[in-house]
Amino acid sequence: MTTLQDSTPTPRGAALVDSFGRVHTDLRISLTDRCSLRCTYCMPEQGNTWLTRSSLMTPDEIERVAAVAAGLGVTSIRLTGGEPLLRRDLVDVVQRLSALRSGGQPLEVTLTTNGIGLPARLDELWAAGLSRVNISIDTLRRERFLELTKRDRLADVLEGIHAAAASGRPLKLNAVAMRCVNDDEIVDLVELATSVGAQMRFIEQMPLDAGHVWDRDSMLTREEILEALSRRWDLTPVPGRGAEPAERWWLDGGPHAVGVIASVSAPFCGSCNRLRMTADGQLRSCLFATEELDLMPALRADGPAPSEASGDLAIEAVLRAAVRGKKAGHAIDSPTFLQPIRGMNAIGG
């Protein structure tokens, strides 16, 4: 168990480096556990117990944690969920975070969304300082979309994609690749992406479904995704992956590329630079962490309000403790692997 005390002193302002030397520069902030869809691999259709409104971090609290993190070397923030577009104060959050600086540079603020309702908010989001958007789409077939997400909203997702593409900013599309679900649409999805100037990325399905029915033997692997792609295109690796989760390949030599995020069959934990904060202020050092550290006591102290400086020190202590407790890898293949209690919608992807 990680505690706030089991530390050797760290110089103030030093970077967030874990015990394996990984430097943490990327903070994923989940804004809500609610969603306009019910993707089967992410959350159940019914019976969800939602976070209460009062337990959600406010824009002030999110900004405060982000400001402390930026002072410790975090340079990019991805807003996610659940569906972040369901937060009415999303533009306010983006504006506050984009105004923060890390090492003299503005923080990069990006959004992962299902795209539903995006067209109406896009201009405001860009004006607020949003840098980039990733949109998730697993199928181009209406019936299949309904089956997979339990909502008949494919047209809304496609509208979101077209609006984002039309704004001329870099756009990535994400699909969870699944056997006997959408493995016959790998090429079609890439063609949609290239037709709107976006980059397609396929994600291996991870054991983060609320139903706990994920099965290692039946998941579609990186190798199978690449095989499907190489039947249509000549693939050449794009060098310079860095800490990116996606490995990329040029399609027929470029200019379009495709990415594969093989978290299960080819984990990239060794270069992980990410920390996660849930919508109710719990810090997680990994998607698969079974332990969370609570930021709320540092943000909502009982009794007389602490000074800003001591409050920030308390936030820093939680950030450092989370990084210190980070494990070498997710160990999905270990016989002792335990799926986190929260589903992906409540962790933030």
Which CB, 24 or 78, lies closer to ligand SAM? Answer: 78
What is the C-alpha separation between 81 and 112, in angstroms, rounded? 8
User: Of ligand SAM, ligand SF4, none, which one sits near residue 174, judging by CB under 5 to 8 A according to partner kind?
Assistant: ligand SAM
To the nearest whole angstrom, how small is the minimum distance from the Cβ of residue 261 to ligand SAM?
8
Q: Do the beta carbons of residue 323 and residue 17 sit within 8 Å?
A: yes
Cis, peptide link before residue 255, omega less than 30° from 0: yes
Number of residues in contact with ligand SAM under rule CB under 6 A = 20
To the nearest whole angstrom, how small is the minimum distance from the Cβ of residue 296 to ligand SAM?
22
What is the C-alpha separation between 267 and 101, in angstroms, rounded? 31
> Which residues inside 26-55 make contact with ligand SAM, applying CB under 6 A?
35, 41-42
SS3 132: strand
Residue 345 interacts with ligand SAM (CB under 6 A)? yes
Which CB, 178 or 251, lies closer to ligand SAM? Answer: 178
To the nearest whole angstrom, how small is the minimum distance from the Cβ of residue 276 to ligand SF4?
14
Residue 198 interacts with ligand SAM (CB under 6 A)? no
- Residue 142's φ and ψ, nearest 5 degrees, are -60, -45
For Cα atoms 143, 145, 147, give the angle at the middle one, nearest 5 degrees.
70
What is the C-alpha separation between 82 and 42, in angstroms, rounded? 9
To the nearest whole angstrom, how small is the minimum distance from the Cβ of residue 114 to ligand SF4?
4
DSSP state of 17: B
Residue 136 interacts with ligand SAM (CB under 6 A)? yes
Residues that bind ligand SF4 (CB under 6 A): 35, 37-39, 42-43, 81-83, 114, 136, 344-345
Question: Other CB atoms closer than 10 Å to residue 63's CB: what's the count?
Answer: 18
To the nearest whole angstrom, how small is the minimum distance from the Cβ of residue 6 to ligand SF4?
34
Segment (H or E) for 79 = strand 76-80
Q: At what angle do helices 308-324 and 59-71 cross, to 10 degrees?
A: 70
Residue 80 interacts with ligand SAM (CB under 6 A)? yes
Contacting positions for ligand SAM (CB under 6 A): 35, 41-42, 80-81, 83, 112-114, 136, 174, 176, 203, 205-206, 208-209, 344-345, 349
